[in-house]
Structure 1
Amino acid sequence: MKKRRLLYLLIAVLGTMFLFGCSKEEAKKEDSTKEEKSTIAELEDGELKIGLCPEYPPFESLTDSGDMEGFDISLAKAIGEELGVKVTFVNTPWEGLVPGLNNGDFDMIMSAMSPEEATSATDAVNLSDAYYELGDAIAIKKGDTSIKSQKDLADKIVGVQAACTAEEAAKGLDSKGIKVKELKSYNRNAEAFAELENGRIQAVVVSFPYAVTQSKEGGNFDVVNDPLQKADLVAVMKKGSDDFTAKFNDALKSVKDSGKYADIEKEWLSVK
């Protein structure tokens, strides 16, 4: 009798656990569906909110008047035209972009972000098709002839922005047999360039377009175009927003096919 009661109790417990697990999965599906409908509804209402960190020229930066400009800005607006929506931008610190997306502060991220950067903290995101392939370069102080390739970074103090693809690329130098004296990570690229200008570090590993922008603007830096690695840039959406991601990809393709993409690339990423 006791054994039978224990058996009934065990069956009841297992049944409850099964139902609880199913209800959790159903809740997740419902939440994902609600988020998808919310984003699509905003598109239908004619607005698309994009989160970005405007500290990365020529992809995104602030003008003296506080307006945003750059490759990502122009491309996002062109994609918005294809979607038939007004694009608005939400100024967000780099480290707050993915949390802000999942918190509903904006509909997507478009901020020179690679898949690795987008998924470093969570895999609960959707990724668009790649919209640009970005290569790293080495920025040095103007007139420094001691660094002509990545091999010359051996025994040098090298700076990078933390939690980005350039940091991973710099860390990978060791596996190539290139042992830097010290690898220093900074919150922002601008901090690393200030340290380079002041002579506290000897090189900065950063994207090629950013390095060229810095060399043009101040004239205090040279660029060594010896890519450590390359990375795709993608737009980032909430996990499960498959319809929205597909609509974005279709619009991106249309912008490329129309020739608008080439014009935007020439305007912002030409190194001549």
Structure 2
Amino acid sequence: MSKRSTLKWLLAGGVAAAAAFAGTARADLLADVKAAGVLTLATDMQYMPFDFYKDNRHQGFDKDYFEEIGKALGVRVRFLDLPWTGTLPGLEARRFDLVAAPVIVTRERKQRYRFTLPIADATVAFLKRANDGRIARPEDVAGKAIGSQRGTSQLAQMKAYADTLSPKPAIHEYVDLNQAYADLANGRLAAVAGGLPNIAAVAKERKNVFEVVMPPFGQQTYYAFLGRKDEDSASLIQAIDDATRAMREDGRFATLQKRWFGMEMAVPAEDFEPAL
């Protein structure tokens, strides 16, 4: 669904549906999804390698992963393309079933939302220009202009890391990472902070332009998807986790990781206590 169509849906039928749901006690979101035959997901299509457009087609890990989830649940999967800043408010307003944009699992977020099992390592690292010899290690961004996506854990970790450096870097916040990558390529930024799978995919796609700065500077973290904390969402999250465990056992999960991240990533197979 296009961003314009998504916004029309949210302003018309989506808002009406949210109002109807607000006045109705709901006990089982999984049953509702199966009855409708559709699992509705919100994501930001500017987040390679998870969700992005190439050749006018939605591609990425999330698309392939949720195709498998849809088969397991016996439903069709519909993606809504929204800016990241609109996903969490839309979830809480019941405009869709799940946020399919990958989110870093934190203690604070676990208090407010219900997470699926992790799907990727989200440790934060810097992306730099491939020909920039000034930056060999993360600490070399001291005194330089760096950026990340607004409203994300990666931005928060980057700010915390920047506070340990002298001189402090100049922080720039972006609505989506594509804008940050453009400024990095044009020399307006010295580095962009992002989850390791994201920036590794960008560096792989544009290996003559970008390079990952190793080692990562962030704390060990993981990407997962999230739903509402209310009890009616528990059934849907449990069904997704069960399907994910089956994918891990038969190798489909590792195949998807290698296809989109370039490597298999160890992630917790059960609930865990986040480092952040």
Residue 49 of structure 2 corresponds to residue 58 of structure 1:
yes
Q: Note the C-alpha offset of 1:259.
A: 0.9
Contact 1:166/1:205 (<8 A) preserved = yes
Q: Residue in 2 aligned with 1:127?
A: 115
Contact 2:126/2:194 (<8 A) preserved = yes
53, 77, 80: which one aligns with 2:70: 80
Residue 259 of structure 2 corresponds to residue 270 of structure 1:
no
Residue 58 of structure 1 aligns to which amino acid in structure 2?
Answer: P
- Structure 1 138/262 Cα, relative in aligned 2: closer, same or farther at 3 Å? same
Contact 2:117/2:241 (<8 A) preserved = yes
238, 245, 269: which one aligns with 1:246: 238
**Any gaps of 5 or more consecutive residues in structure 2?**
1-20, 265-276
Residue 203 of structure 2 corresponds to residue 215 of structure 1:
yes
RMSD: 2.6
Q: Residue in 1 aligned with 2:103?
A: 113
Q: Quick one: distance in 1 between partners of 2:30 and 2:147? A: 39
CA deviation vs aligned residue, 1:211-262 (integer Å, no higher than 9, x gap): 2332233331122122122321122112222222222211111111121101
Residue 10 of structure 2 corresponds to residue 37 of structure 1:
no
Kindly tell me the number of residue pairs found equivalent between the two proteins: 240
Q: TM-score if structure 1 supplies the norm length?
A: 0.79
- Structure 1 255/32 Cα, relative in aligned 2: closer, same or farther at 3 Å? farther
Q: Quick one: distance in 2 between partners of 1:179 and 1:78? A: 48
169, 187, 190: which one aligns with 2:157: 169
- Structure 1 33/252 Cα, relative in aligned 2: closer, same or farther at 3 Å? farther
Q: Quick one: distance in 2 between partners of 1:193 and 1:158? A: 11
**Any gaps of 5 or more consecutive residues in structure 1?**
1-29
SS in 1 for 2:236: helix
Contact 2:50/2:101 (<8 A) preserved = yes
Q: Residue in 2 aligned with 1:257?
A: 249
234, 241, 247: which one aligns with 2:224: 234
Q: Quick one: distance in 2 between partners of 1:118 and 1:107? A: 21
Residue 254 of structure 1 aligns to which amino acid in structure 2?
Answer: A
Q: Note the C-alpha offset of 1:173.
A: 1.4
SS in 2 for 1:158: strand
Q: Residue in 2 aligned with 1:101?
A: 91
SS in 2 for 1:119: helix
- Structure 1 38/253 Cα, relative in aligned 2: closer, same or farther at 3 Å? closer
Contact 1:158/1:203 (<8 A) preserved = yes
CA deviation vs aligned residue, 1:128-168 (integer Å, no higher than 9, x gap): 22222212221111211111111211122111111112211
Q: Quick one: distance in 2 between partners of 1:58 and 1:38? A: 28
Residue 135 of structure 2 corresponds to residue 144 of structure 1:
no
- The structure carrying a bigger helix percent of its residues is 1
- Structure 1 185/178 Cα, relative in aligned 2: closer, same or farther at 3 Å? same
Residue 213 of structure 2 corresponds to residue 224 of structure 1:
yes
The aligned runs of 1:17-28 (5 Å cut-off) are none
Task: Tell me which stretches of 4 or more aligned residues in structure 1 moved more than 6 Å.
Answer: 30-33
Q: Residue in 1 aligned with 2:8?
A: none
CA deviation vs aligned residue, 1:41-97 (integer Å, no higher than 9, x gap): 2224432111111111111101222x3111111111112222222212111111111
